Every structure is written in C-alpha cells, then in structure tokens.
A and B are shown apart, each in its own frame.
Chain A
Amino acid sequence: MDFDTILQLAGSSLRLATPLLLACLAGLYSERAGIFDIGLEGKMLAAAFAAGAFAAVSGSAWIGLLAAIGASCLLSGLHGLASITLRGNQLISGVAINFLASGMTALIGQNWFGMGGQTPQLPGGARFMPIALPFAEALGGVPVVGPIYRDLISGHNVLVYVALAAVPATWWVLYRTRFGLRLRAVGENPGAVDTAGVSVVRLRYAAVMIAGLLCGIAGAYLATGQSAGFVREMTAGKGFIALAALIFAKWRPWPALGACLLFGFLEAVAIRYQGIAVPGVGTIPVQFMQALPYILTVVILAGFVGKAIPPRAGGQPYVKER
C-alpha cells in the first residue's frame, strides 16, 4: 500500500465519518440530558430528504440546509413532546420516528417529484462543493506534509469542517459552561437540578433540539454534500452506527470523534476492498467489515473492554414532585 492509497483511504474515511460524527454528537446532547434517542436515523433521513428537495427547487444548498434542520427539528420536537411533556416511552417514540421518516420521505418524494422517491439530480450550485484551503496547491509540492495538507486536510465541503469543529465546541459547551454542567446533571439526577431551581423540562427540550439541529446538518451532508440528491433510505443504518459510536465513545465528545473516524475507516475499507485477503486466515468477507462496528459496540457494551455506563437517568421521564 503506497502513500497515495493511504491518503485516499484517510480522506474517504473522513468523508464517511462526517455524517456519523454529526449524528453521534446529536445523540450525545440528547442522551447526556437523559433522553434516549434511537430516532437519529429517522431524523437524518427526513433531513436528507428536505435538503435534497429544497435544494433542488431553490437551487441553493443553504436553503436545503435550513429545510433539513427544520425537518429534523420537527421530529425532535415530536420526540420531546412524547418523552418529556407526555412522559411516554422514549425508545418507542424513537422507533416511531424512524418509521415515520422512512414512510413520509418516500411518500412525499414520490408525490412531489414522481421519481420513485428520489429527488432530482442537483447541479453544482445546489450542493456543498469541496473547498480548497489557502495555499493547498502551492504547498502540494512539499514532501509528505504537502500532499497531506492538499489531499487530506483541504478539499472537503464546508460541512466536514463544521462537523470537525463541533467536537471541540461540544466539549467546551459540556464541560466549560453552566448550561453544559446542568445538561450533564439533568441526565444523571434531574431531581437535584430541579431542587436547584432549574427547569428540567426546558433543559431537556434544549438538548433534544440541539440534537435536531445536528441531525439536520448530517442529513444535509448526505443529500447535498456527499451525493447530488436524495435517494430512498439513503441513511442506510448510519443513525444506528452513530448510536453505536456514541456508546463506543462512552458518551464523550473527543472519543466520539475517534469512534466515528474508526467506523468511517471501516466503511471506507469495506467499499474499497470487496473482501480482504489475510495471509493464513483466508478472505474476510465484506459483510464482516460492515458488521464490525456493531460487533465492536456489543463487545464494549458487554464490558469486556472497558465498561460503557450510560447517563443514570437516561430513559426515565421526570415527574416533578408536588
């Protein structure tokens, strides 16, 4: 494997990790506040559809992005209504949201565009195109560092950088602001937060809506960044891989980056090499590579390699004492 191949593989890992990272951070906010979110997949799918549809009609990727965030936040609001206000089962709500997104995107897509649930192919202006960072070409000639800068760090679309910037931002919000402290507290012991005179309901809604925002960006990335339009079921389980990455990272921002890059890398390898020949073992089937993120997560969950302990109040509706 030569240097160019490694660079290409790393670049494609980064691009594949981006939607995972955004969705993973979305789940992080929600679950750290005590609201389980298995509807990441559905929110991303709805967002991807909204981005594809509105970008196609308006010709602007930014309007697509706004629509994506709107669609995703709508579903987040529904999740909040069900699990915070009405104290329903958060897992069931998530399952319902996934189905709702899956059905509605196909139904409305067919109704609006009549292309079997797809949205029209987007021209360049309606997409987020790769941007070259300053001096990328000029520095390209410098050995080792140059190609890394030109091919790996530069040349992605803006949402990739947004996702990467969201990691330190999330860390800062969670660990260095009052809001973050309260957010973490409300996921561990909402009673204590309530006693301190802070609204549990408002905090949890805030967390759920941030999750909606991030899932919206993730969906827009899929439909208007990575591809040129929406296709049915284009999230293809990415929301669940993001959930797996969240557990893998034990609900922390920096490890989330690592987990998403790892899972992105696995996907990149699976796409590039259909089955890998390992000397002495034989060929590793591509399906094994695809299942590996899930297998790793089960191993982590089982506590054989470090223990993943979710936020303590996760999944339980909070009932204020009277």
Chain B
Amino acid sequence: MRPALPRWADIALIPALNLALAFLVAGLVVLFIGENPVEAMRLLLHGSLGSSYAVGFTLYYATTFVFTGLSVAIAYHAGLFNIGGEGQAALGGVGATLVCLALPWPHWAIALPFAILGAGAFGAAWAFVPGYLQAKRGSHIVITTIMFNFIGAALVVYLLVDVMKVPGSMAPETRNFPEGTQLPFIHEMLGAIGIRMAKTPMNLSSLLALLAAFLTWALIWRTRLGYEMRAFGHSEPAAVYAGIDPVRITVVTMLISGALAGMMALNVVMGFQHRLVLDYVGGAGFVGIAVALMGRSHPVGVVLASILFGILYQGGAELAFDMPAVSREMILVIQALVILFTGALENLVRMPVERAFLRLRRRTA
C-alpha cells in the first residue's frame, strides 16, 4: 500500500502548515493584547538575527535546545516519551560542576572529556531509574520522569543551599570554576582567525552539539542498536519476537537520552556561567519536547527547530524590551502553540491534507 502522503509533504509541508497555524494564533494573541503582530514579528527577527551579537545569542540558546531536543528525539524513536529532560539536565549540571571543581585543570581541552563524562553520567543516572522501572516494573515512564523532575529540582536546591554553596555566601551558587575549565567562546575563536564578532555567550559547545546531532543520526540509522531501538518503538511485540531484549533497549535508550539532556550543562554551565546557579536549566528541558516534535525526531530537524527556538528566545527577550506590552512570557505561549499544533493537534492539518492528496491522485490516475 502506498502511504497516504508523499515524503516531501510528510516532512516539509505538514510541519510548515502546523507552524504557520501556531504563528497565526500567536499573532492573534498579540492582536488581542493590542499590539501590531507584524511589527512584533519584525522586532523579533531583528532582535534575533539583526547583528552578530543577536546571532551569537540565538545560536547559544539553540545549542542548549539541540541537546535537550536530541534527548527527547532519541527516546521517541524507541517509543518512550521522556519528559524528564528538565531534571536530567539539572543533574547533568551537578555532574559537570563536580568535575570542573574537582581539580585545578590546566587546560580546557583536558577538562572537557571528563566534564562530558560527568554531565552525561549524572544525566544518565537520573534517567536510569525511570527507564528501569518502566522496563522491569511497568510503571509509566511519563509519570516517573515528571516525578523525577521534581525530585531532581529539590535535590539540586538542597545541594546548592546546603552543600555546594560558597561558605559564608548567601547566594545559592557554587564558586567560580578555575580558568582551565572555561570553554573558548566563538567570538574568541573567530577573532583568532581574523573574523570580528560581538562578545556573546556562544561557545565551543555549539560545535559539540552539531557533533552530537551527527552521532545521534549515525546511532539511529547506521547501527544495530539504533535499528533495535526503532524496531522496539514501532512494535514492542514484534521486536521481542525478533529477539530484542525490551529491558535492555528501554534502559540503554533512557541512559543515552538522559546523558544528552545532561550535556546541555556543557553549553550553559561550563561554557558560559562558569559556576552552577539555581535553576540553570530554566525550562530548556521542556523546550526539548517542542524541538523534537517539530523536528520530527530527526537530528537535522532537531537542529533546525532548535535554531527556530533560539530565534524565539533571543528575539522574544528583545521584543519584550522594545514592546513592553508583549512580555517575555510570549515565548511560552508560542512554545505552547507549537507543541499544540505540531504535536497534539497534528491531525487537524494532516487529515485534510491527506484527503486532498488522495483526491488529487484519483484525478491524475
């Protein structure tokens, strides 16, 4: 049987229509507030892409979302909905911080592999329990990952307030990392080869994020494990019949997913803030859900969707500054609409489009 839709419509047309609907509704919201949506859009795009400063910030945010988006995407391929990225990223921050503060690292290139391990291991550990419980005890992974977000948040608050805080200081944050752990900024790297760029928090992690996206692609479509994950995600009974161990696949997938979420710490904690502060994740774990949905769980899609959300985050901040009636929470609304239209209300567009294609095909046949 031929699929109802040609491939290009499935991967380009439908997401584009969904996105258009989301932005249409967002425009109505802006109109409702009494501002001009076209002007808002212009300010948003200018604030996010109008200068090298703006682009740097946009890509800095995008880098974070690539990590959390890949985390959701990879779990989705195995049929698992990991909404625990927020907690896993928070714990990843603790892991990266412990590595960075453990030794007087001489150079970031030496510290980086260990920090990747630290952030990944802590993130993976936080995803392990929900994964294991789903595989072994049948407890629903969505609920357990939600619970682990809250448990993780409480744990990190406890650690920052009572354990890792600078003695004598009131602020719930760790001391600054040694110089030898601070990743180079992109404006420094570009400056070294003679290209001038404004100072932004964008750092080496952006390249790591691209590497992670490539490795995720290779894992899912070019390895045996990836094949098993996809088979398991398609049909659990069929996968089990084919000799795939459901416990192993569930646990391994969640470990990789958690590790990816944890690695957002490289960008924010190790690359920019250079210390661990309270709630450094700031909702990025949830943005990962929107990014993965929009990107159709494909690494290329995830990267593109991350850039879109980077534009929203950076542009939205500038927009709130230039147009005070549209406060920063507009980003949350757009995010919700994107999740709604590309995820939950997907059939709103898909059903009519499929019908239209069928009619078209009947006429040409």
A positions within 8 Å CB-CB of B? 36, 38, 78, 81-83, 86-93, 95-100, 102-104, 106-108, 110-111, 117, 237, 240, 243-244, 247, 285, 287-288, 290-291, 294-295, 297-298, 301-303, 308, 310
From the candidates A93, A240, A291, A310, name the one contacting B344 in the complex (CB within 8 A): A93
B151 touches A302 (CB 8 A): no
With A107-B329, A298-B144, A301-B139 as contacts: A95 and B339 at CB distance below 8 Å: yes
B148 touches A99 (CB 8 A): no
B143 touches A301 (CB 8 A): yes
Q: Given the complex, which residues of A lie within 8 Å of B150, measured CB to CB?
A: 237, 240, 291, 294
Does B138 lie at the interface of the complex (its beta carbon under 8 Å from any beta carbon of A)? yes
Q: Given the complex, which residues of A lie within 8 Å of B29, measured CB to CB?
A: 104, 107
B327 touches A107 (CB 8 A): yes
From the candidates B147, B340, B347, name the one contacting A96 in the complex (CB within 8 A): B340
Q: Given the complex, which residues of A lie within 8 Å of B346, measured CB to CB?
A: 86, 88
Interface majority SS (helix, strand, loop, mixed), chain B: helix
B positions within 8 Å CB-CB of A? 29, 33-34, 81, 83, 129, 133, 137-140, 142-144, 146-148, 150-151, 154-155, 157-158, 161-162, 286, 289, 293, 325-327, 329-337, 339-340, 343-348, 351
Select the residue from A86, A91, A107 with max chain B CB neighbours within 10 A: A107
Q: List 13 A-B contacts (CB under 8 A).
A: A78-B340, A92-B289, A95-B289, A96-B339, A99-B332, A99-B335, A99-B339, A103-B333, A107-B330, A111-B33, A287-B154, A295-B147, A303-B137
Q: Given the complex, which residues of A lie within 8 Å of B33, measured CB to CB?
A: 107-108, 111
A83 touches B344 (CB 8 A): yes
Q: Smallest Cβ distance from B341 to chain A, in angstroms?
A: 9
B343 touches A104 (CB 8 A): no
From the candidates B34, B83, B344, name the one contacting A88 in the complex (CB within 8 A): B344
Q: Smallest Cβ distance from A179 to chain B, in angstroms?
A: 27
B348 touches A86 (CB 8 A): yes
Please measure, in the bound complex, the distance between the C-alpha atom of A166 and the C-alpha atom of B363, giving whole angstroms. Answer: 58
Please measure, in the bound complex, the distance between the C-alpha atom of A195 and the C-alpha atom of B293, giving whole angstroms. Answer: 35
Select the residue from A36, A285, A301 with max chain B CB neighbours within 10 A: A301
B333 touches A95 (CB 8 A): no
Q: Given the complex, which residues of A lie within 8 Å of B34, measured CB to CB?
A: 111
Please measure, in the bound complex, the distance between the C-alpha atom of A247 and the C-alpha atom of B331, giving whole angstroms. Answer: 32
Task: Tally inter-chain residue pairs, CB-CB below 8 A.
Answer: 148
Q: Given the complex, which residues of B lie within 8 Å of A100, measured CB to CB?
A: 332-333, 336-337, 340
Question: Chain B residue with minimal CB distance to A275?
Answer: B162
A99 touches B286 (CB 8 A): yes
With A106-B327, A288-B154, A303-B138 as contacts: A96 and B344 at CB distance below 8 Å: yes
Question: Chain B residue with minimal CB distance to A303?
Answer: B137
Question: Chain A residue with minimal CB distance to B287?
Answer: A99
With A99-B286, A285-B162, A303-B139 as contacts: A104 and B333 at CB distance below 8 Å: yes
Please measure, in the bound complex, the distance between the C-alpha atom of A82 and the C-alpha atom of B322, giving whole angstroms. Answer: 35
Question: Chain B residue with minimal CB distance to A106?
Answer: B329
A290 touches B154 (CB 8 A): yes
A298 touches B343 (CB 8 A): no
With A82-B344, A88-B346 as contacts: A301 and B144 at CB distance below 8 Å: yes
Q: Given the complex, which residues of A lie within 8 Å of B137, measured CB to CB?
A: 301-303
Question: Chain B residue with minimal CB distance to A304?
Answer: B137
Please measure, in the bound complex, the distance between the C-alpha atom of A294 and the C-alpha atom of B149, giving whole angstroms. Answer: 9
Please measure, in the bound complex, the distance between the C-alpha atom of A117 and the C-alpha atom of B133, giving whole angstroms. Answer: 40
Please measure, in the bound complex, the distance between the C-alpha atom of A96 and the C-alpha atom of B293, giving whole angstroms. Answer: 12
Q: Smallest Cβ distance from B58 to chain A, in angstroms?
A: 20
A92 touches B332 (CB 8 A): no
With A106-B332, A237-B150, A244-B147 as contacts: A298 and B133 at CB distance below 8 Å: yes
Q: Given the complex, which residues of B lie within 8 Å of A81, measured CB to CB?
A: 345
With A240-B150, A295-B151 as contacts: A287 and B158 at CB distance below 8 Å: yes
Question: Chain A residue with minimal CB distance to B333?
Answer: A103
A92 touches B151 (CB 8 A): no
Question: Chain A residue with minimal CB distance to B129?
Answer: A298
Please measure, in the bound complex, the distance between the C-alpha atom of A252 and the C-alpha atom of B152, giving whole angstroms. Answer: 28
B146 touches A92 (CB 8 A): no
Q: Given the complex, which residues of B lie within 8 Å of A244, measured CB to CB?
A: 147
A302 touches B139 (CB 8 A): yes
If A92-B293, A96-B337 are given as contacts, then 15 extra A-B residue pairs at C-beta distance below 8 Å, sorted by A number, are A83-B344, A88-B344, A88-B347, A89-B344, A92-B344, A99-B336, A99-B339, A100-B333, A103-B329, A103-B336, A106-B327, A244-B147, A287-B161, A291-B155, A301-B147
Question: Chain A residue with minimal CB distance to B153?
Answer: A291
Please measure, in the bound complex, the distance between the C-alpha atom of A315 and the C-alpha atom of B337, giving whole angstroms. Answer: 21
Q: Smallest Cβ distance from A68 to chain B, in angstroms?
A: 20
A103 touches B343 (CB 8 A): no
Please measure, in the bound complex, the distance between the C-alpha atom of A285 and the C-alpha atom of B286, giving whole angstroms. Answer: 28
Q: Smallest Cβ distance from A22 to chain B, in angstroms?
A: 20
Question: Chain B residue with minimal CB distance to A83?
Answer: B344
